């Protein structure tokens, strides 16, 4: 699969003392929705500025669409839509006048620009406010204007920095839906930074986790979930469980069985997870037990995120002296 964003050895040091980004190797596949996760101060926004060529790296490089990105790469930037954190707008402008201004900056002719503005205002649900001054808008409404602005040039790559920050639940749901729809369009790649893990888990296909400027995970959502799978299953059943537990213990590849007041937790050898799960359900059916609830024992992305941060903290030295080829 082709990569839209590729960084190698990417490093940024401010004032010769603050390491904001540390030897970053990042690959964002074409047509993916890539979630860039990290706690506040981890280096997410600095990485985005380096990707966009807004600041110079101290070392390393960025390629966008296979082209080296620099501060003079205006041709590449014309293919990108950028949503900054907490965007600011001229107070006296309306969504229509602002989008018209941005369309002119991109050189869109009037016959293309005007229908495009109308389409975007409808798509971000700003039609009732299209002639209102932006200075009167809520945080969610401002975000929608910014989202429309970053789409004005119909970009191949969208870079969204904390797009759901400060939004109420309705605003977050609307933004998540729009990002998902954009990511499903052919020819669109979305790179979105966030520290809100529930949003990333909801719409991303790939995820990178950064901590203290260092990338500590890079892969698909499926890979991160496999990484943190606990290889167990928890059942709550109704009926006589004694003989069920005895037969389950005899199943090959069962590592342990624990019975609690409200359920049974069964450990499974990860190399034989799927086949053993089928054997458990076979015994459940044979014993004529009613299944009340089932948990496959996988952690949430939030728990995985915290585990990876803790691992990075405890193995930081080893990570520091090893380099991805």
Pairing of strands 189-194, 33-37: parallel
Report the percent of the chain where pLDDT is more than 90: 53
- SS3 at position 245: helix
How many angstroms separate the CA atoms of 215 and 101, rounded?
A: 38
Instruction: Please give the pLDDT value at position 38.
Output: 85
What are the φ and ψ backbone dihedral angles of 267, each rounded to 5 degrees? Answer: -85, 145
Asked if the structure places residue 220 within a domain, the reply is yes
Based on the structure, what is the number of domains in the chain?
2
Shared domain for 143 and 241, answered yes or no, is no
pLDDT band at 317 (very low <50, low <70, confident <90, very high): very low
What are the φ and ψ backbone dihedral angles of 63, each rounded to 5 degrees? Answer: -115, 130
Structure tokens at 174: 């609307």
Shared domain for 149 and 249, answered yes or no, is no
Q: 192, 226, 260: which is the final residue of a domain?
A: 226
Shared domain for 114 and 196, answered yes or no, is yes
Asked if the structure places residue 325 within a domain, the reply is no
Shared domain for 8 and 86, answered yes or no, is yes
Shared domain for 125 and 200, answered yes or no, is yes
Q: 167, 198, 226: which is the final residue of a domain?
A: 226
- SS3 at position 206: strand
Q: What is the mean pLDDT of residues 246-260?
A: 92
Shared domain for 191 and 245, answered yes or no, is no
Full-model pTM: 0.76
Contact 34, 205 (CB under 8 A): yes
How many angstroms separate the CA atoms of 10 and 22, rounded?
A: 7
Shared domain for 27 and 146, answered yes or no, is yes
Instruction: Please give the pLDDT value at position 315.
Output: 60
Q: What is the mean pLDDT of residues 186-205?
A: 84
Q: 197, 226, 255: which is the final residue of a domain?
A: 226
**Interaxial angle between packed helices 139-150 and 169-183, expressed in degrees from 0 to 180 and rounded to the nearest 10:** 10
The β-bridge partners of 59 are 11
Asked if the structure places residue 306 within a domain, the reply is no
CB contact burial 202-241 (16+ within 10 A = b; e otherwise) = bbbebbbbbbbbbbbbbeebeebbeeeebbbbbbebeeeb
Asked if the structure places residue 253 within a domain, the reply is yes
Q: Dump pLDDT digits (tens) for 15-70.
A: 988 999 999 999 999 999 999 988 888 899 999 999 999 999 999 999 999 999 99
CATH number of the domain residue 279 falls in: 3.30.70.100
Asked if the structure places residue 151 within a domain, the reply is yes
Shared domain for 250 and 132, answered yes or no, is no
Shared domain for 104 and 165, answered yes or no, is yes
Shared domain for 53 and 74, answered yes or no, is yes
Asked if the structure places residue 322 within a domain, the reply is no
Shared domain for 222 and 233, answered yes or no, is no
Shared domain for 248 and 204, answered yes or no, is no
CATH number of the domain residue 162 falls in: 3.40.50.300
Asked if the structure places residue 138 within a domain, the reply is yes
Domain of residue 11 covers 3-226
Instruction: Please give the pLDDT value at position 200.
Output: 78
Asked if the structure places residue 164 within a domain, the reply is yes
Instruction: Please give the pLDDT value at position 272.
Output: 87
């Amino acid at each position: 699969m082709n990569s839209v964003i590729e960084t190698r050895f990417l490093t940024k040091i401010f004032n010769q003392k603050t390491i904001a980004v540390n030897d970053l190797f990042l690959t964002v596949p074409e047509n993916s929705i890539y979630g860039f996760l990290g706690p506040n101060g981890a280096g997410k926004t600095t990485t985005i500025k380096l990707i966009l060529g807004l600041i110079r790296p101290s070392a390393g490089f960025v390629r966008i669409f296979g082209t080296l990105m620099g501060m003079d790469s205006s041709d590449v930037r014309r293919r990108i839509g950028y949503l900054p954190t907490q965007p600011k707008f001229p107070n006296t402008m309306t969504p229509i006048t602002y989008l018209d201004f941005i369309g002119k900056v991109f050189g869109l002719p009037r016959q293309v620009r005007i229908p495009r503005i109308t389409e975007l205002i409808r798509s971000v649900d700003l039609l009732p406010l299209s002639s209102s001054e932006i200075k009167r808008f809520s945080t969610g409404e401002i975000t929608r204007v910014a989202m429309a602005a970053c789409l004005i040039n119909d970009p191949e790559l969208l870079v969204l920095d904390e797009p759901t920050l400060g939004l109420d639940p309705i605003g977050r749901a609307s933004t998540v839906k729009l990002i998902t729809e954009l990511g499903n369009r052919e020819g669109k790649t979305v790179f979105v930074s966030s520290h809100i893990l529930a949003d990333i888990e909801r719409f991303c296909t790939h995820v990178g986790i950064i901590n203290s400027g260092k990338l500590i995970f890079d892969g698909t959502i499926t890979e991160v979930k496999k990484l943190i799978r606990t290889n167990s299953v928890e059942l709550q059943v109704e009926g006589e469980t004694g003989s069920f537990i005895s037969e389950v213990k005899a199943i090959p590849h069962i590592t342990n069985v624990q019975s609690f007041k409200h359920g049974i937790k069964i450990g499974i050898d990860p190399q034989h997870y799927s086949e053993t799960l089928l054997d458990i359900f076979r015994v459940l059916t044979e014993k004529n037990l009613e299944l009340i609830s089932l948990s496959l024992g996988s952690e949430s992305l939030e728990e995985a995120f915290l585990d990876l941060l803790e691992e990075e903290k405890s193995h930081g030295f080893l990570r520091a002296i090893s380099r991805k080829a």
